[in-house]
């Protein structure tokens, strides 16, 4: 299955190459296997009761540990969770990446023209297990696997209709691992280092750092993968979701009605369209994920930037660790004092209006190489709406991750080796080349035309 830009012609799939990448040595920015946390402690902290898929996943990862000393010891590390999900021997928990790997393996076996293959013909034990289950539960049980049987089985798994299998979208997996890592005192791509992050709200698909004095998130972090975009079930729709006060905040939380009559849009920090499930879509509509944005910016220029990131992730087959947030700056680019902020809302619950919205992206390519780019976009009423003007407006908003970190007082990607940070975080000109780039309106933000390509 291949996802194309909404502006792409069917005969020209979106393809991209990323040039300013830095190789990341294996394990150089991964979690530590030794940083374990008792499973019982994690269950108490996050309310994961016995029998929940979260508790069962932790126990499965512990039982599958490759260390004899740590296997089955009642504790687990984020690294053990990651290793288990990469090769889930019992095939009980399947990420979007795992689903894509199984699809790819089947297509490779069928490349010679066969319509089916034996269920034990795969290269990994867990893939054989998936094949057998797909043949039995999604097919005719004849010991052969077809595309139709695999598609039907995966559809049932994603719909929660298979008793012994759980779909864990990559985005949900990233937050799950982030919770385990934080409990072990580890940093990860979704949790920056530094003070002043505000109240942390750990959701299922995003991490919110809320500035309670401003009633606006300082930033929201999430992970977006090409596999999630490709595996998103038909029917996930933002029109089914409603803006909702965050139940974790109680009466103090921003309400949808606080924006009424303000002239500002409820601007998503984690984009609704980045949601792999309807539950994620609903979560993205929590008011703790919103910041006041001028309508022209939110609906046109900012939406185009969000589309560009999705295009890039989809076309490269990679994963992006994204932080999106808000800044309050004067004309000289210096932080505004609290008394100088514009606000909306009621007297008892004022909501600060950002002067700028920022987005930083750490892109991990399938080969492990890393790239990084950032935008700091003015939240202005007269943001352009014409497709020819939007790229120029956003291109002028390019900045470095270093600059965003300086303004926030945060080390946004602190888990990266210092040498990698030094190469990536100072660069404000990410080099991405899209074939047939002019066919992709949003993607053109990030592209430079390759010699010899058609415009």
Please give the full DSSP string across 342-354, using - where no structure is assigned. Answer: -EEEETTEEEE--
Q: Compute CA 142 distance to the chain's CA centroid, rounded to the nearest angstrom.
A: 39
Instruction: Please give the structure tokens belonging to residue 323.
Output: 């932080």
Q: Of the residues 268, 285, 321, 356, which is catalytic?
A: 268
Q: Say whether 268 is catalytic.
A: yes
Query: What is d(CA 28, CA 48) in angstroms, rounded to the nearest whole number?
Result: 30
CB 420 within 8 A of CB 27: no
Q: Mapped to the 3 state alphabet, what secondary structure does 169-217 carry?
A: CHHHHHHHHHHHHHHCCCCECCECECCCCCEEEECCCCEEEEECCCCEE
Please give the full DSSP string across 299-342, using - where no structure is assigned. Answer: IIIHHHHHHHHHHHHHHHT-EEEEEEEEE-B-TTSPBPPGGG--
What residues form DSSP beta bridges with 95?
Answer: 168
Query: What is d(CA 10, CA 167) in angstroms, rounded to the nearest whole number?
Result: 29
Query: What is d(CA 306, CA 270) in angstroms, rounded to the nearest whole number?
Result: 9
* Nearest in space to 80 (alpha carbons), one of 92, 62, 94, 98: 62
Instruction: Give the alpha-carbon dihedral of 192, 197, 199, 204, to 10 degrees.
Output: -30
Judging by DSSP bridges, how do beta strands 117-118 and 16-18 pair with one another?
unpaired
- Give the active site residues: 268
């Amino acid at each position: 299955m291949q996802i194309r830009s909404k502006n792409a012609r069917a005969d020209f799939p979106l393809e991209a190459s990323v040039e300013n990448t830095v190789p990341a040595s294996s394990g150089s920015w991964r979690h530590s296997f030794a940083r374990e946390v008792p499973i019982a402690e994690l269950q108490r902290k996050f309310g994961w009761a016995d029998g929940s898929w979260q508790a069962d996943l932790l126990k499965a990862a512990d039982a599958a540990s490759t260390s004899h000393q740590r296997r089955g010891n009642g504790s687990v590390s984020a690294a053990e969770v990651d290793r288990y999900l990469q090769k889930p021997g019992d095939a009980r928990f399947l990420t979007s990446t795992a689903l894509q790997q199984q699809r790819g393996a089947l297509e490779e076996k069928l490349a010679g023209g066969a319509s089916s293959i034996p269920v034990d013909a795969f290269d990994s034990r867990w893939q054989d297990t998936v094949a057998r289950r797909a043949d039995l539960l999604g097919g005719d049980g004849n010991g052969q696997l077809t595309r139709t049987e695999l598609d039907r089985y995966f559809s049932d798994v994603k719909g929660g209709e298979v008793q012994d299998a759980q779909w864990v979208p990559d985005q949900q997996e990233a937050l799950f691992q982030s919770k385990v890592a934080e409990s072990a005192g580890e940093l990860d791509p979704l949790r920056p280092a530094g003070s002043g992050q505000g109240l942390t709200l750990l959701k299922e698909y995003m991490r919110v750092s809320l500035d309670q004095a401003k009633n606006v998130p300082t930033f929201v972090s999430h992970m977006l993968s090409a596999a999630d975009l490709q595996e998103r079930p038909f029917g996930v729709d933002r029109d089914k979701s409603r803006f909702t006060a965050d139940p974790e905040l109680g009466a103090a939380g921003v309400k949808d009605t606080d924006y009424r009559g303000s002239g500002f849009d409820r601007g998503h920090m984690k984009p609704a369209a980045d949601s792999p499930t309807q539950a994620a879509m609903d979560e993205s509509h929590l008011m703790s994920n919103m910041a006041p944005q001028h309508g022209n910016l939110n609906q046109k220029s900012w939406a185009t930037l969000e589309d560009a990131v999705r295009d890039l992730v989809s076309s490269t087959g990679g994963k992006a660790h994204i932080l999106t947030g808000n800044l309050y700056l004067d004309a000289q680019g210096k932080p505004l004092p609290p008394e100088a902020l514009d606000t909306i809302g009621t007297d008892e619950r004022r909501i600060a209006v950002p002067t700028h919205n920022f987005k930083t992206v750490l892109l991990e390519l399938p080969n492990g190489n890393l790239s990084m780019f950032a935008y700091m976009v003015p939240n202005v009423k007269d943001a352009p709406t014409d497709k020819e003007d939007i790229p120029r407006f956003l291109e002028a908003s390019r900045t470095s991750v270093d600059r965003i970190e300086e303004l926030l007082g945060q080390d946004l990607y602190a888990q990266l080796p210092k040498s990698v940070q030094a190469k990536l975080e100072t660069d404000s000109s990410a080099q991405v080349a899209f074939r047939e780039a002019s066919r992709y309106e949003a993607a053109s933000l990030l592209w430079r035309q390759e010699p010899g390509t058609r415009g």
